[in-house]
Amino acid sequence: MTINTLPIITEKTKAILTVNDTYYRSIILEGGEETYYKQKPEKLIDHSCIINGASLDGRRKFIKMIFNIKHKIPIPVDPQQGVFLFPTCSTKKEECTWISYFHMREYKQMGTKTYITFHDDTGILVNNSINSIEMQDMRTSKIVARMSRNLYPGFSPFPKIRLDKDPK
């Protein structure tokens, strides 16, 4: 068990778990390591978002505006490095876990819960149906696809807005 102050979420981060402890509020899974933090997951994510150019709130507003997603909003923490996280449920719930999109290999139903397997063959059991995880996977994939368009000439991840008044 490693204890740190304030981390940067990177491409090595597999998941961020919410902890209801007297001292710790979150656990970050990276590789085979579990690191405990005093801050809640959203505070850790906000810190990394700010380092990468926008706050968590700013990224949420962007996703809401472009994709019309209102709840359980996936977050592009560091799109250039492929760091996209999605919450498994409302961030207000204690069992909310943030999953790194590119680390997730598969997921399968286990009773009323879902087991998420990562590419390194580790995994976690989350208190969500497979349909809920599948929806979050699809939402995040749309965001990844749209934000990747700027890698190709002639494409922009943002919708075109006409500023002239002439509709021609």
What CATH number does the domain located at 12-150 have?
Answer: 2.40.50
- Which regions of the chain are under pLDDT 50? none
Under 8 Å between Cβ of 147 and 158: no
Quote the pLDDT of residue 158: 54
Compute φ and ψ for 116, nearest 5 degrees. Answer: -105, 125
The pTM for the full model equals: 0.86
* Token code pair at residue 62: 């962007």
Do β-strands 26-30 and 75-78 pair in parallel, antiparallel, or remain unpaired?
unpaired
Question: Tokens representing 80?
Answer: 């250039």
Q: How far apart are the first and last CA of the chain?
A: 63
The predicted structure's pLDDT at residue 20: 87
pLDDT at 155: 55
Distance (Å, whole) CA 144 – CA 147: 5
Residue with tokens 């139903």: 109
Q: How far apart are CA 131 and CA 121, in angstroms?
A: 22
How do the domains of the chain map onto residue ranges? 12-150
CB 44 within 8 A of CB 9: yes
- Spatial distance between the Cα atoms of 152 and 166, rounded to a whole number of angstroms: 30
Provide CB contacts within 8 A for 131, sequence distance 6+: none
